[in-house]
Amino acid sequence: MSEMTDTAETDKTNKPVETKEITKAVETENADRDISGNCLTIENFSITLGDFKAENLNLKIGAGEYCIIIGPTGAGKTILLESIAGIHRLKSGKIYLHGRDITDIPPEHRGIGIVYQDYMLFPHMTIGDNIAFGLKHRGVSREERERQTAEIAGKLGIGHLLGRYPQTLSGGEKQRAAIARAIILKPKVLLLDEPLSALDNTTRENLRRELKKLHSEMNTTIIHITHHFEDIYSLADRVVVMREGSIIQCGSVEEIVRKPDTRFIADFTGMENIYAGICTPLSNGTCEIDINGLKLYAVSERRGDVNVGIRPEELIISKEKLASSARNSVCGEVIKITDNGIFSKIAVAEEKSGVIFTAALTKQGIESMNVSTGDKVYLTFKATAVHVF
Amino acid sequence: MTIQNKHYFSAFKLLCIGTALAAVIGLIVIFTGMLLYPSLDDLISCLLSEELRFAITLSIVTALISTFLCAIVAIPSAYSMTRFDFFGKEAANILLNLPLSLPPLVAGIALLIFFSPVLSPVGGLLAAMGINVVYTTTAIVIAQFFVNTPYMIRSLRSSFAMVNPRYEHTARTLGCSEWNTFVQVTLPMAKSGLIAGIVITWSKAMGEFGAVLMFAGAIAMKTETLPMALFINMTTGDIEKSVAAAIILLIISAVVLVAVEHWGKETGVEYV
């Protein structure tokens, strides 16, 4: 188990470089649980479905990895997921699972599970029968089915609901049942299509923790589509960003959050301070960026028109000018304080250029600083916090 | 000044509701008139007459067989129309709507010509093999089947469309084959709509007149279904027997209506 976790860790830091030979060698040793290297390889994936089109998409996902896919509606996230499951026929391209070509294998023989946002529990079956559905089709005996169903349901906290019908359950209970139904078959890959989106905040929080636990216990490769930024932070080993049928960025959480390739990703990942500016390189790899007359320092070799993003939590807010090694310090007036329950956001308008910065602060932070609208404050941040793209 | 929506007088609203009520009352009065026309003794003796017993049995049996055949064709057809893309799907869709506006008489004469031993090579071939379907009970079944299949496909198509294909996708990933998914997931989930569609088709077959008249003829005690019995006895002036046949058809319609209402409601509630 620990060995597997290590592999996942390695994958995270060094991009997984994997050759088919290694995968095959491992496959002969341990056909189902290939622990080093790629679990899923998608090569030149092309598909046309109605109005949707994807061309030459490539993706490799390491064994045991928790991969999160984000992207706007219509990006083709669900179609990619369903194609991995074998629902849609590819126009061209190949899908390999542990080195084995599964492109033409029907979904029932792939060993890949899927859980949708809307649960898709069969309404004419009890929760118990729903969870045992896959085992029944594998010809598992009745006693064994009941034993395993009870075990997995207990693990997910729905053991008392096995005799009930799906219509009588809450959203969170239904999603637990749907997850139980998928993982009871110990799938090689578990696909989750916005599994937490239909749930209320508390339930989502709980189930997210549960997913994290399941992933580390089972070490299944998980591919999870989400619209929730929190999912990336708490679950992902790797993030894939899709738009209009192609992958526009793929990397670790750190890379995606700090170095978003495009404005869309920056917006999506909550990088609130995004500006257009003109970049002039200085010596030793740094540069000066002119945003509406305001000069900021960043680390980049770009020249000319650029976008600039600064994460709200990178801004240090103070009432007195800080003596710090950070290159950037701006002064402005607090124009708005908004509270979202967990932390507060403070909008500050820079005094000369009028550029608005948003900083994040905890509630206690605001109280101890005693800051309110109209106050003059200083924002300090490092040159490395200014992301140029 | 506030306008109280509930209380102010609306001539428009009154007129609309009044018209609806008048229509319903007209319906009740006219059917009650028919129900009260024969004396109870006459009605019972008509219902027990050999002719009507024959017509009832013939109608029920032919309608059951034709509905069964309709279902065999309509279930896969309707499913493919909702789930798959194939060449000619658009054209098929339009053609399937044609019988909705086409009088069954037209279908009847087309069948008559197709199966006629004299007028068509197919009928000629069948005749050479010693098979003649025109003006037989077989023709009744064929006429009902031919007219009702497009209706049934349309009705089942909407039942299948109500089943989210993701249920099927999920079943497949759980190790269920295409066949098993259809039998164990799709059919049970579309059950209410399927039953309603089948019951309506059966009742339409019981009452099919135009196509049956053209293709199977109105031959007393041979191709005499309930609508034929109504027609034949009317032309010979035996109004009591006509009314008796009409009353049976009316009762069947009423029962079917209640049944469909019941299953229809279930469809709405069960799979939310």
Query: What letters, b where the CB count within 10 A reaches 16 and e where it falls short, cover A197-213?
Result: ebbeeebbeebbebbee
Return the structure tokens found at B72. 């065999």
Of B83, B173, B176, B270, which to mutate for an interface test with A (greatest number of A Cβ within 10 Å)? B173
Residue of B nearest to A186 (CA): B174
CB contacts of A82 in chain B (<8 Å) are: 169
Average pLDDT for B122-130: 92
DSSP 3-state of A309:
strand
CB contacts of A106 in chain B (<8 Å) are: 172, 177-178
CB contact under 8 Å between A108 and B173, yes or no, is yes
Strand order in the sheet with A376-381: A316-318, A376-381, A328-339, A343-350, A356-362
Pairs from A342-345 (Cβ < 8 Å, separation ≥ 24): A345/A272, A345/A312
Are A208 and A199 in contact, with CB atoms under 8 Å apart?
A: no
Are A311 and A265 in contact, with CB atoms under 8 Å apart?
A: no
DSSP 3-state of A96:
strand
Return the structure tokens found at B14. 């009154």
- Burial class of residue A24 in the structure, from the number of CB atoms within 10 Å of its CB (0-12 exposed, 13-18 middle, 19+ buried): middle
Q: Closest by alpha carbon to A225, among A182, A187, A180, A190?
A: A190
Reported as a single tens digit per residue, the pLDDT across B50-91 is 999 999 999 999 999 999 999 999 999 999 999 998 999 999
Domains and CATH numbers, chain A: 2-111+187-264 (3.40.50.300), 271-388 (2.40.50.100)
Residue of A nearest to B190 (CA): A124
Would you call B84 an interface residue with chain A, using a CB distance cutoff of 8 Å?
no
% of chain B exceeding 90 in pLDDT: 79
What is the residue-averaged pLDDT of chain B? Answer: 91
Instruction: Determine the Cα–Cα distance for residues A2 and A202; give it in Å rounded to an integer.
Output: 31
Of A82, A89, A130, A133, which to mutate for an interface test with B (greatest number of B Cβ within 10 Å)? A133
Would you call A341 an interface residue with chain B, using a CB distance cutoff of 8 Å?
no
CB contacts of B172 in chain A (<8 Å) are: 85-87, 106-108
Q: What is the pLDDT of residue A169?
A: 95
Name the strand (E) or helix (H) holding A289: strand A286-291
CB contact under 8 Å between A122 and B185, yes or no, is yes
Instruction: Determine the Cα–Cα distance for residues B172 and B166; give it in Å rounded to an integer.
Output: 10
Instruction: Determine the Cα–Cα distance for residues A339 and A342; give it in Å rounded to an integer.
Output: 8
Instruction: Determine the Cα–Cα distance for residues A145 and B247; give it in Å rounded to an integer.
Output: 55
Q: What is the pLDDT of residue B81?
A: 93
CB contacts of A167 in chain B (<8 Å) are: 270, 272
Say whether pLDDT at B30 is over 60.
Answer: yes
CB contact under 8 Å between B169 and A123, yes or no, is no
Would you call B162 an interface residue with chain A, using a CB distance cutoff of 8 Å?
no
DSSP 3-state of A368:
helix
| Tokens 């190949």 sit on residue | A94
Average pLDDT for B95-116: 91
Instruction: Determine the Cα–Cα distance for residues A88 and A79; give it in Å rounded to an integer.
Output: 8
Q: What is the pLDDT of residue A30?
A: 39
Are B163 and B186 in contact, with CB atoms under 8 Å apart?
A: yes
Say whether pLDDT at B271 is over 60.
Answer: no
Per-residue DSSP letter, B123: H
Q: What residues does A45 pair with on adjacent strands? A: A57
CB contacts of B188 in chain A (<8 Å) are: 122, 124
Q: Closest by alpha carbon to A162, among A131, A133, A134?
A: A131
CB contacts of A109 in chain B (<8 Å) are: 175
| Tokens 């190790």 sit on residue | B175
Would you call B164 an interface residue with chain A, using a CB distance cutoff of 8 Å?
yes
Top CATH class, B57-225: mainly alpha
DSSP 3-state of A325:
coil
Reported as a single tens digit per residue, the pLDDT across B180-224 is 999 999 999 999 889 989 999 999 999 999 999 999 999 999 999
Name the strand (E) or helix (H) holding B228: helix B226-235
Report which residue type is found at A206.
Answer: N
Query: What letters, b where the CB count within 10 A reaches 16 and e where it falls short, cover B134-168?
Result: bbbbbbbbbbbbbbbbbbbbbbbbebbbebeebbb
DSSP 3-state of A273:
strand
**Total residue length of chain A:** 389
Q: Which of B173, B178, B270 sits opposite A112 (nearest CB)?
A: B173
CB contacts of B270 in chain A (<8 Å) are: 123, 167
Chain A nearest C-alpha distance from B73 (Å):
25
- Between residues 121 and 180 of chain A, which touch chain B (CB distance below 8 Å)? 122-124, 133-134, 137-138, 167
Residues 6+ apart with CB under 8 A from A217: none
Q: Which of B167, B176, B188 sits opposite A120 (nearest CB)?
A: B167
Q: What is the pLDDT of residue B268?
A: 41
Q: Which of B169, B176, B178 sits opposite A137 (nearest CB)?
A: B176
Residues 6+ apart with CB under 8 A from B152: B70, B71, B74, B78, B197, B198, B201
Q: What is the pLDDT of residue A122?
A: 97
Q: What is the pLDDT along chain A (389 residues), one digit of tens a residue?
A: 333 433 333 343 344 443 333 333 333 333 444 444 789 999 999 999 988 999 999 999 999 999 999 988 889 999 999 999 999 999 999 999 999 999 999 999 999 999 999 999 999 999 999 999 999 999 999 999 999 999 999 999 999 999 999 999 999 999 999 999 999 999 999 999 999 998 888 899 999 999 999 999 998 999 999 988 778 888 999 999 998 899 988 998 888 877 777 777 777 777 788 888 899 988 888 899 999 889 999 988 888 888 888 888 888 898 888 887 778 999 999 998 888 777 788 999 998 888 999 998 887 777 788 888 899 999 999 988 888 87
Size of interface A-B (CB pairs under 8 A): 68
CB contact under 8 Å between A120 and B185, yes or no, is no
